Chains A and B, each alone.
Chain A
Amino acid sequence: MKSLVALACAFALPGIALAADHGPVFSYATPVNSQRELSFDTGIFARNGSQGTQLSTGSSFGYGLTPHLTINAFLPATFGTGYLPESRIVSGSEWSAGASWRFFHSVTSVGKRIESTASLGVVVPGPQNDSGVLASLHRAPGGAGSLAAGLASRSQYFWVGGGYTRFPEASEDRRPDTLSWSGVYGYRPAKLRRGYNQWDYRGFAELTGEHTGSVLKSGTILPGSSTKSVWLGPSVLAIFKNVAISGGVQAPVFRDASDSIYGRERLRFAINFSYLKYSSLTSSH
């Protein structure tokens, strides 16, 4: 068991803040799987800009090794050409695998938790090429890490988090490093604080930000290729027992990126479906 945990930590986790089980759509959050819980997420993520729309679909698998340690893998596929900057908030074409460790967990009262989760992982180029300025780059596997902390309760949710992804050079090319962060507030109205055998709804306001570094091409930094952006938008999560559907949309509130390189990104949206398979196993005595 210890070697499994060590292996999982060594591989550790995707920096993508994708919708996972019962959290927000775009933002970093703390929930991890229960022990022996198998989770499956699949969704469609879109980025629309002045040079086109990039759609990606991705499936994520998670397994709870312990109540606080989950290993996961994410397999995406992309469609369309958006000529858009690197993003870790919305998935691209990279495969990733890693682990999330909820290292702080305080249950303070009925329905309330305060917790922090760290994630580490590897990000591996998938078989599909990117579009735009990123398309012609030689790609090397990178590493990603993230940290999230916050509160979950029957009425309100609040999480803040950040992540960093770094790619090494490959044949004098290097994909940009990405620093991303998020803050999310969620609310479940009193009328919707119902029994678990009814649909459970909650709404979120998600604020996310990304700073991508410069693109290195043939040993030369591409001028104006770094970006900064801040996004804001609502999302909704609906859950019935072990099935969840969530969707959200975001628009830029701040954007500092070269229009000639990336065009003007205008909208992001995502729809996600989750299935959670809980284990009934306990020890005999």
Chain B
Amino acid sequence: MTKMIAAAFFALLPLAAHAEYEQVNLTVFGMDCAPCAHAIHVSMKGIQGVNTVDVDLNTGLVTVKLFPGNSASMRQFNQAVEKNGFAHKDAEIIVRGKLAGTANAPVLEVSGTQDRYGLSPTTANLDIVSLLGKTVTVSGVLPQAPKGKVSDTLRYKTITEVR
């Protein structure tokens, strides 16, 4: 039994290692001064798996880059903004996950988290049928969601298979 569990664990390991957020670019409203930015920096760095955080006060852009194999969730990034009294707008993300669902209703599952997004293309003629069931890297925009919520739709710009 123990061997079976171990075998299952190692079988799933490559999938987990390839399913995660690579970069999150959040636009944050309301930061007027250096301590505001510092607070966001500290909060983002406190999320397990975060490698670097850059905050631009003049554009409100918070750029978060993550280590491979992390299990950070989008909810945590939003929470890091909300707990400091600011508001997050659209987020541009680069994320790896398993492409599930159907050709008409594709879904991206970010393993290691409970994040799951319905995919919607920003441009037509993006054929993703051949990628169903595979691990993919997606870049796109998560629209702004109400406080405490994460958008359930990812408007993707590119989607490529992870080899």
Q: Are A32 and B85 in contact (CB under 8 A)?
A: yes
Scan A99-128; emit 1 where CB is below 8 A from any B CB, else 0. 000100101111111000000000000000
Query: Is B57's CB under 8 angstroms from A282's CB?
Result: no
Q: Which residues of A contact B27 (CB under 8 A)?
A: 110
Q: Is the CB of B85 within 8 A of A67?
A: yes
Q: Mark B136-163, 1 if CB is under 8 A from A, else 0.
A: 0000000000000000000000000000
What is the CB-to-nearest-CB distance from B34 to chain A, in angstroms, rounded to a whole number?
4
Interface centre among A22, A34, A68, A200 (most CB of B within 10 A): A34
Instruction: Determine if B83 and A196 form an interchain contact, defined as CB atoms under 8 angstroms apart.
Output: no
Do A108 and B29 touch (CB < 8 A)? yes
A281 to B47, CA, bound (A): 8
Other-chain residue from A110, A242, A244 in contact with B60 (beta carbon distance below 8 A): A110
Distance to closest chain A CB from B42 (angstroms) = 4
Q: Flag if B35 contacts A21 (CB, 8 Å).
A: yes
Given that A110-B59, A111-B32 are contacting pairs, would A35 and B46 also be in contact in the complex, using a CB cutoff of 8 Å?
no
A46 and B60 CA atoms in complex are apart in Å by: 39
A241 contacts B34, CB within 8 Å?
Answer: yes
CB-based nearest B residue for A199: B34
Contact partner, A154, options B58, B76, B113, Cβ 8 Å: B58
Cα-based distance from A36 to B86 in the complex (angstroms): 15
Cβ–Cβ < 8 Å partners of B114 in chain A: 285
| CB proximity to A under 8 Å, residues B14-47 | 27-39, 41-43, 45-47
Q: In the complex, which residues of chain B have a beta carbon less than 8 angstroms from the beta carbon of A113?
A: 30, 32
**A107 cross-chain contacts in B, Cβ below 8 A:** 29-30, 86-87
With A111-B57, A283-B75, A285-B114 already in contact, the answer to whether A241 and B29 are too (CB < 8 A) is no
Q: Does B122 make an interface contact (CB < 8 A)?
A: no
Residue of A nearest to B76 (CB): A282
Q: How far is the CA of A102 from the CA of B87 in the complex (A)?
A: 15
B: interface residue count bin: 35 or more
When distances are taken between beta carbons in the complex, the residues of chain A under 8 Å from B79 are 282-283
Given the interface pairs A107-B29, A285-B113, the reply to whether A278 lies near B43 with Cβ below 8 Å is yes
Instruction: Check if B51 is an interface residue, CB within 8 A of chain A.
Output: no
Chain B residues with CB below 8 A from A112, complex form? 29-30, 32
Asked whether, in the complex, the Cβ of B80 is within 8 Å of the Cβ of A282, the reply is: yes
Contact of B38 among A193, A202, A278 (CB under 8 A): A278
Give min CB distance, B57 to chain A, whole Å. 6
A169 in the interface, Cβ–Cβ < 8 Å? Answer: no
Shortest CB-to-CB span from A1 to chain B, Å, is 14
Residue of A nearest to B86 (CB): A107
A239 x B57 contact (CB < 8 A): no
With both chains docked as a complex, state the minimum distance between the C-beta of B125 and any C-beta of chain A, in angstroms.
34
* Interface: B90 (CB within 8 A): no
In the complex where A35-B84, A111-B30 touch, is A285 in contact with B76 (Cβ < 8 A)?
yes
Q: Are B32 and A280 in contact (CB under 8 A)?
A: no
Judged by a CB distance under 8 angstroms, whether B120 is at the interface is: no
With contacts A112-B30, A152-B33, A194-B57 known, what are 18 further pairs, Cβ within 8 A? Answer: A21-B35, A34-B39, A34-B83, A35-B84, A37-B84, A67-B82, A105-B85, A109-B29, A111-B31, A195-B57, A196-B55, A198-B34, A200-B35, A202-B33, A240-B34, A282-B47, A285-B73, A285-B114
